């Protein structure tokens, strides 16, 4: 299953499935957990993590995950909507 099938969009996947604590970063264990939750089996989750996060860090950021997600999260008006709807960025 793809993240977009489970969550509807990459933005929802980031906010609801991956960065569940609103820290603006996803640790490898969080990524592993999300892959298991959505039933991702195409390759090991750690391998996919390394394909997305190329700097050999133990976490990924929105910039690593998707450029459009990172762009949207970087704008105050969008962050305001997220705060109102999801209580993120209080």
pLDDT tens digits, one per residue of 51-70: 999 999 999 999 999 988 88
Pick one of 3.20.10.10, 3.20.20.80, 1.10.238.10, 3.30.1490.440 as the CATH number of 3-86.
1.10.238.10
0.95 exceeded by pTM = no
Contacts 24+ apart (CB under 8 A), 60-65: 60/25, 60/26, 60/31, 61/24, 61/25, 61/26, 62/14, 62/19, 62/24, 65/10, 65/14, 65/18, 65/26
pLDDT band at 2 (very low <50, low <70, confident <90, very high): confident
């Amino acid at each position: 299953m793809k993240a977009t099938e489970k969550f509807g969009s990459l933005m929802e996947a980031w906010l609801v499935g991956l960065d569940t604590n609103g820290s603006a970063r996803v640790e490898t264990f969080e990524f592993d957990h999300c892959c298991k939750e959505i039933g991702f089996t195409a390759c090991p989750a750690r391998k996919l993590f390394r394909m997305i996060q190329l700097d050999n860090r133990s976490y990924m950021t929105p910039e690593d995950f998707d450029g459009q997600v990172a762009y949207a999260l970087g704008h105050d008006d969008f962050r305001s909507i997220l705060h109102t709807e999801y209580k993120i960025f209080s």
